[in-house]
């Protein structure tokens, strides 16, 4: 038994795969609060990258019967990873990779910097000004009808950056990387989610859940854990909207992967790539069957790791990442971590480290090395090797990757 079990008076236990990795006491308290909800099924599972989050603990797996907590899913709905292996090797890459990084940065909108575009109009460089033809076709054929259904019941969601964020990266810890595996094959890997429209959907339904519960109870014991019960006014609408946002996130990653491959082909010449080798969410909710019951499983910073299923566990900038195969561990509700997990806030990282520290910790990686990315410095995260050791009964490592190019928002 590799997990530690924490008893929660008045609630279900918390099983934590955290041996050998630090866990903040505030995160433990947040896990206890979630475990006290009356509809949690069996227990809450905490992954080794667990840390304090907004709404629910990042790195937690929350199975529920008859209810969903929108804030546990959060506003980065469907955030996750995609990775593809190419037939390139390290020998096919140039000695200097600035050109490869620049080509990717030009091909995929990233960051968020509004810039003036004549006559007082503004455009966000992290959004498409003119949606590419292929992306527009994906929107029209796979997303537009579902979005119209969401907006029919909740018109406020229409006022979001939706189609023009399809195929864009975002900010924060979202990234695109070129990596090498254990035999020097080149991989492309990226991290992003449902962007502005997912944020709008998440924020809208979190507020609705808080309002509905306040109407029922008069006062909320914990507004971050406001929930919709099955059969309530907004439950079905939320399930539909969150499912749509998860589809948006999956397609968003596929489109960025496609754009990255095209950009690298122009820089390096033609190569072959598995267009989608692995594409997995790590912020989402899904209906699953565990311990004899159909339940809603919310993975907040966790990846499904069913028996034989492939997943991606990235490290930080300058650290290893892993392609893994799930062991189907029932106690974890078939889950594993979604990354290394932060050990300090972004604010603390900016106070503690300098650009010189960032340069030293990302040596050998072609990436931004400036004050605006210090909050993503490797030292702000748990050691990925310890995180992997703590979950050896959840996944097997299939490939070990290290990045040579990293594009950050």
Structural domain count of the chain: 1
Per-residue pLDDT of the chain (409 residues; tens, 9 = 90+): 689 999 999 999 999 999 999 999 999 999 999 999 999 999 999 999 999 998 789 999 999 999 999 999 999 999 999 999 999 999 999 999 999 999 999 999 998 766 555 554 456 888 999 999 999 999 999 999 999 999 999 999 999 999 999 999 999 889 999 999 999 999 999 999 999 999 999 999 999 999 988 777 666 667 889 999 999 989 999 999 999 999 999 999 999 999 999 999 999 999 999 765 799 999 999 999 999 999 999 999 999 999 999 999 999 888 999 999 999 999 999 999 999 999 889 999 999 999 999 999 999 999 999 998 999 999 999 999 999 999 999 999 999 999 999 999 7
Give the single-character DSSP code of 40. Answer: B
Distances (CA, A) of 295 to 8, 13, 128, 192: 21, 17, 38, 26
Per-residue b or e along 249-265, where b marks 16 or more CB atoms closer than 10 Å to that residue's CB? bbbbbbbbbbbbbebbe
In a domain, 375, yes or no: no
The H or E element spanning position 303 is strand 302-304
User: What is the structure's pLDDT at 6?
Assistant: 97
The whole-model pTM stands at 0.94
Residue 31's SS3 state is helix
Distance between alpha carbon 382 and the CA centroid of its chain, in Å? 17
| Residue 71: inside a domain | yes
pLDDT for 55-83, tens place per residue? 789 999 999 999 999 999 999 999 999 99
269 domain residue, yes or no: yes
Confidence (pLDDT) at 281: 97
Query: Domain for residue 23, yes or no?
Result: yes
Residue 254, in any domain of the structure: yes
* Spatial distance between the Cα atoms of 320 and 341, rounded to a whole number of angstroms: 13
Residue 133's SS3 state is: helix
In the prediction, which pLDDT does 213 show? 86
Marked catalytic residue, from 165, 338, 399, 402: 338
pLDDT of residue 123: 63
Measured torsion, CA atoms of residues 302, 307, 312, 318, in degrees rounded to the nearest 10: 90
Task: Assess if residue 364 is contained within a domain.
Answer: no
What is the C-alpha to C-alpha distance for residues 143 and 194, in angstroms, rounded to an integer?
Answer: 12
Burial 345-381 (b: 16+ CB within 10 A, else e): eeeebbeebeeeebeebbeebbbbbeeebbbbbbbbb
User: Chain-centre distance of CA 297, in angstroms?
Assistant: 16
* Residue 140, token pair as written in the block: 């029209």
Torsions phi, psi for 119 (to 5 deg): 50, 35
Q: Are 196 and 161 in contact (CB under 8 A)?
A: yes
- Determine, yes or no, domain membership for 356: no
Structural domain boundaries, residue 184: 4-343+381-408
The answer to whether 338 is a known catalytic residue is: yes
The predicted structure's pLDDT at residue 214: 78
Give the C-alpha separation, 284 to 249, whole Å: 10
Residue 108, domain CATH: 3.90.1860.10
Distance, CA of 404 to CA of 387 (rounded, Å): 22
Confirm whether 370 is domain-assigned: no
Cβ atoms of 60 and 12 within 8 Å: the answer is: no
Q: Locate tokens 């059969």: which residue?
A: 231
Whole-angstrom Cα distance, residue 146 to residue 154? 12
């Amino acid at each position: 038994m590799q997990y530690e079990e924490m008893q929660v008076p008045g609630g279900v236990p918390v099983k934590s795969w955290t041996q050998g990795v630090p866990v903040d006491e505030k995160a433990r308290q947040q896990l206890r609060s979630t475990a006290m909800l009356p509809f949690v099924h069996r227990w809450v599972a905490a992954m080794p990258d667990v840390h304090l989050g907004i709404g629910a603990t990042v790195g937690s797996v929350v199975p529920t019967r008859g209810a969903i907590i929108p804030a546990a899913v959060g506003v980065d709905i469907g955030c996750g990873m995609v990775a593809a292996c190419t037939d390139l090797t390290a020998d096919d890459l140039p000695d200097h990779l600035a050109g490869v990084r620049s080509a990717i940065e030009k091909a995929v909108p990233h960051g968020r910097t509004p810039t003036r575009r004549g006559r007082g109009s503004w455009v966000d460089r992290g959004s498409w000004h003119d949606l590419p033809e292929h992306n527009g076709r994906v929107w029209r054929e796979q997303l537009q009808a579902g979005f119209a259904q969401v907006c029919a019941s909740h018109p406020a969601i229409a006022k979001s950056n939706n189609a023009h964020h399809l195929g864009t990266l975002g900010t924060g810890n979202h990234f695109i990387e070129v990596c090498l595996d254990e035999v020097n094959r080149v991989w492309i890997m990226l991290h992003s989610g449902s962007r502005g429209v997912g944020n709008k959907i998440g924020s809208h339904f979190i507020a609705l859940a808080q309002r509905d519960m306040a109407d029922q109870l008069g006062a909320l014991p914990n507004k971050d854990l406001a929930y919709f019960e099955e059969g309530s006014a907004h439950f079905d609408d939320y399930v539909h909207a969150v499912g749509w946002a998860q589809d948006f996130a999956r397609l968003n990653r596929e489109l960025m992967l496609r754009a990255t491959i095209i950009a690298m082909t122009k820089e390096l010449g033609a190569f072959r790539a598995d267009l989608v080798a692995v594409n997995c969410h790590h912020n989402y909710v899904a209906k699953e069957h565990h311990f004899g019951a159909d339940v809603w499983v919310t993975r907040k910073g966790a990846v499904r790791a069913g028996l034989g299923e492939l997943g991606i566990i990235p490290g930080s900038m300058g650290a290893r990442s892993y392609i893994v195969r799930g062991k189907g561990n029932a106690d974890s509700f078939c889950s594993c971590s979604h990354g290394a997990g932060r050990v300090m806030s972004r604010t603390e990282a900016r106070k503690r480290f300098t650009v010189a520290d960032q340069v030293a910790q990302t040596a050998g990686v072609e990436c931004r090395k400036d004050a605006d990315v210090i909050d993503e410095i490797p030292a702000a995260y748990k050691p990925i090797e310890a995180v992997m050791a703590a979950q050896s009964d959840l996944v097997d490592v299939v490939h070990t990757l290290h990045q040579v190019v990293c594009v950050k928002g």
